[in-house]
Structures are given as structure tokens and as C-alpha cells.
Structure 1
Amino acid sequence: YLPALDKVSTLGEGVRGWDTGPGNVLIDLAVDQFSEGQQTYDHGGAWASQGTPCPAVIDTWLADPFFQVAPPKSTGRELFSPAYLQHCLETASSYQLSIADILATLTDFTAATIVYNYDQFLPQRPHQVVLCGGGSRNPYLRQCLQQRLGDTGLLTTDQLGLSADAKEAIAFAVLAYWRHHRIPGNLPAVTGARQTVLLGDWHLT
């Protein structure tokens, strides 16, 4: 899942899910900063694709304590904030990177956080990875992720007949259906909750 923040979901012996990293957040913040507000995201990864990722910088960024914490775990813009981006840029400043190089490094960093979580917290890598969200429409990000995944299959929900743009709307419709039929909607293994519960409530006016 590649919207603002990445999430891992695995099937097999139960279901596991957690936030893996920044997703598009740091890329979007950097594009907004470097374009002086003229762009809010790197359309198609075009800007980043003109640069070259810096592995040494990515390794430094991966040392952040969040990536070492075992799931279940969740994060958000409270961590991957403008201040976090500035810290990343300060770390990269000694490597004399161009703006395109920095964006390429941030994009490959997102890919690296996903694969790092697979390698650290799953018994083995998944045989297939399915992407949705805005990041799934970034060819350069998909390229970075595929390079790190190696032989693992990579496809988008669009290829499975589920629009990446509609995924969250469908998910909330499913949750509403479950609530109506009194089916618990949470997964303790994912959220860390003590038990399954009904989610949401009815408010008729």
C-alpha cells in the first residue's frame, strides 16, 4: 500500500499488517520544497528518475529507531514530518547530491523500507507484492521496489481489477457492511488490540 504511508499486509498463517515507513510523505514534502510550492508530488517519478540514489544515505536513514521496532506498529506524519525531512536533508548534505539525486534517494528509501521490513519481520519474503495508493502510479518507485525485491512478483491492484483510487472507499464500505451485520472489523494481530470488536456505530437523524 503506497499512499502517504506504507503498510504491509501478509496472508498465510493469519494476517499481519503494519506501517513500514514514509510512503510518499517525504517525497511529496521534498518536491513541494524544491519546487517552491509549484508541485505537490513527483508526477510519474519523472524528477527522481533523472537522479541517482545514494546507498550510503539510505543506509543512514534506515538506522532510524522506528525501522528497528517489531510489529505491530503504526506511524504517521507526526514522525515523517517536515522536520524529519530537514533532518534527512542535513544527513545527505555532505554527499553533494543534486536535487534529482535527493529525490531519487528518497524514492529508493521508501522502497528500501518496505523490503527491509519483509526481511526483518517475516520468515521469508512474500512471493508476490500488490501495490495500491498513489505510489503505485509512480513508475520510478515501482522500479526501485522491483530492483530490491528481485524475483518477487510486483503488480498493482489495478491489474487485479481493483482501482487503486477506489481502494479506501471500498474498504470503508466493507467495514460498514461488517458493522451492519455485527461482524468484528479489527484484527488484534495487526492493531495490537486485546480482542476483536465491532467498529463504528449507527447514527440516524
Structure 2
Amino acid sequence: MHRELYIGVMSGTSMDGVDTALVAIEDNRIELLAHDDFPMPPELKQRLLAVCTGQPTNLIEIGTLDHQLGLLFADAVDALLEKSGYTADQIRAIGNHGQTVFHQPTGTTPFTMQLGDAHLIATRTGIDTVADFRRKDMALGGQGAPLVPAFHKTLFQSSDSSVVILNIGGIANLSVIRPDEPVFGYDTGPGNMLMDFWCQQHTGKPFDLDGQFAQQGKVDDILLEAMLTEPYFSLSAPKSTGRELFNDAWLGQQLANHTASAEDVQRTLCELTAVSIAREVLKFQSGPNPTLLVCGGGARNPLLMDRISALLSDWHVSTTREQGVDSDYMEAMAFAWLAQRRIHDLPSNLPEVTGASRLASLGVVYPA
């Protein structure tokens, strides 16, 4: 397949900005040419958080947010093009994940909702846009998530030992690559989401830079064990989760009738992320040199990385950056790749990961 350029756009559960990645794809080779982090207006973030956490809303607000996000994502693409020196006519397509405001993959009416009008993105940028990646997989009985393991499969290989790629965004998810076995993956639970919320509430800062706030406290073992009884952690895969479960209300329930300093809660939330991840990763240890490659915002938290490394003492723990793949833009790159798969009508889900009944080419094309 000849060389084509794609742009991936990702706004995750943390809502700390819009990541964009411009990649070149030729056959199975993927090269990151440029990337950018476009800010999300604080007022827009707060309105989105209100919807995500179940506060009363209406169709006017949902439609307004959909429109405003479409414009934001288009602006993010334009900023990336200006920064990189490439032009719209050189880009084959945009892959836009959209902003998830609710994800309910189980029950009598499974659904997922991402906002960000792809028609606006396509017409404003002049570039064909692929969006709505998750619902086809769900229509086939899958969770619609995680979708990134399929991309990880093209980037990383396992020889004689397990390779696990761990993305720590708002939610943490992993991809497991083992010799002679299908790729496997799922959401382990909270990543940065609860830590970000608590840090914002008690320091006014959107996230705990370098884990400094958490390092002022100590782990509250009673609180940690109570949090780890959350039923989601014991569910069998395939499984996926998000802010609709791990939110401020969930944390409030955990803290009810429990006294702890703000610093101790922050430190305990960091330990919750580390322990819930490590317990899952250990299930897939095989071979003499098991490797964990970490990407996402959590890879920049030294306290979190130290705790994961300590809990996985028999594993080689590093970031994907050390393997030549920028750890901050892995997911944006993945949605560029997913767009390429859709443009060429190639399968892009992994039924063994999502639980879908069959392979499918995910996404809907919105022509410019």
C-alpha cells in the first residue's frame, strides 16, 4: 500500500486537551511526523464534566456541546497543520475519536456517546473525516473498547516473553501481546481520573505534577482495601469503563465515614491506580523477560511509575518512548491508523479484545 498521511485527534477522559498526531502510513509502517496538544477551554471542560457525571442536561446543551467540540477539533487540526508545515490537500483523512460523555457497554440497552460534529470537522478543515468508531463494534455485541490494542499489535511484537502496553489516561487500559497467542486487552480501572479530580478540588491544579501532592501523604491501607472491593475490578474481560463509574460520586461514597487528610487521599488514589494495574498485568507474566511499556499522561508521573515498577519487580518497566513511539501521542496515532483502516475498508477491531462477534472496519466516513 502506498504512503499516505493521516491525522489522529484524541480527547480522552481526562479532558486536559486535544492531542493531534500527523502520521505517515505505508504498508504496516507508521511514522509520527508531527504532533500537538491543543488546549480545551476550561468552561467547555466543566460543561462536559457535568454531562459525564450525570448532572441534569437537555438536548439543547448536548447539541451545543457537539457543535462546539466539532469546531474545537477542527481548530486543533488546523493548528497542527500550521505547526507542521503540511497542507490539508496532503492529508488523506482525519480520524477523530470524539469526546466520550457516556459509555454503557452492558445491560439491556448498551450504548456509547462521543460528541464532536464530524461534519463540521470535515468541512472546516477540507479533509475527509472518519468518526463514530465504537458503535459498530457494539452493534456486533462488543464493548466498543478498548480499540487501541489492534494498533499496538501492529507496533509491537513479542518473541519469547509477554509484552504488555499500558495506556494510563483518565482510565487505564492494557494490551497483552504473547508469543503465539491472540492479542488481548481491556480497561483495568482508574488511571489519572480520580487523582486529577482530587488534586483540582484541593490544590486548584488540574493534575498532580510529578506526583508532588501525593508524595506529601501516605497510603491509607483501610481506604485502599475498601476501594479495591469495587466489583468492576473482579469482572472478567472483555470489559471497559469510564467516568460514568469512577467519578466524584464514587469517590465520595468511598470516603463516607472515613477520615483522611487530602494528601493521604491523593497518595491512596495513586496507589489504587498502581495496584489495580499491577494485579492485572501479573496475570499475563510469561517468559524470561516480561516487558511493560507505558504510555499516556500517567507515564509522566514518577511516583506512579515507581509504584508500578515496585509492584512488578520481575518485569522490565519503561515507556513506549524508549521503543521509539511517543508515549504522549499513542492514542492520537491509533485513531489516525483506525482512519486509514476505514478508508481502505480493512478490519480494525479485535473480537478477542472487545467481545464483538466478528471482525469489522470501524468508523463512519464524513466527506469534506
Q: 1:1-205, aligned counterparts within 5 Å? A: 1-12=167-178, 13-35=181-203, 38-90=204-256, 93-94=258-259, 97-119=260-282, 122-124=283-285, 127-205=290-368
The letter of the residue matching 1:145 is I
> Which deviations, in whole Å up to 9, do the C-alpha atoms of 1:61-81 show, x marking residues without a partner?
111110010100000000001
The letter of the residue matching 1:74 is S
Q: Is the 8 A contact 1:30 1:85 kept in 2?
A: no
Hey, what's the Cα distance between the residues in 2 that align with 1:41 and 1:99? 14
Calculate percent identity across the aligned residue pairs. Answer: 37
Residue 40 of structure 1: how far off its partner (Å): 1.0
Q: 1:123 to 1:162 in 2, by over 3 A?
A: closer
Q: Is the 8 A contact 2:345 2:361 kept in 1?
A: yes
**Segments of 4+ in structure 1 off by > 6 A?**
none
Q: Is the 8 A contact 2:226 2:254 kept in 1?
A: no
Aligned CA-pair RMSD: 1.6
Gap regions ≥5 residues in structure 2: 1-166
Structure with bigger gyration radius:
2
Number of residue equivalences: 198
The letter of the residue matching 1:60 is A
Q: Is the 8 A contact 2:176 2:284 kept in 1?
A: no
The letter of the residue matching 1:22 is P
Gap regions ≥5 residues in structure 1: none
Residue 123 of structure 1: how far off its partner (Å): 4.9
The letter of the residue matching 1:33 is Q
Hey, what's the Cα distance between the residues in 2 that align with 1:101 and 1:9? 31
Report which of the two has the higher share of strand.
Answer: 2
The letter of the residue matching 2:315 is T
Q: Is the 8 A contact 2:270 2:304 kept in 1?
A: yes
- The 3-state SS of whatever aligns with 2:168 is coil
> Which deviations, in whole Å up to 9, do the C-alpha atoms of 1:3-59 show, x marking residues without a partner?
100001100211111000110111011111112xx2111011011012211233222
Hey, what's the Cα distance between the residues in 2 that align with 1:21 and 1:188? 20
Report which of the two has the higher share of helix.
Answer: 1
- The 3-state SS of whatever aligns with 1:145 is helix
Q: Is the 8 A contact 2:294 2:317 kept in 1?
A: yes
The letter of the residue matching 2:196 is D
Hey, what's the Cα distance between the residues in 2 that align with 1:152 and 1:90? 36
Q: Is the 8 A contact 1:118 1:125 kept in 2?
A: no
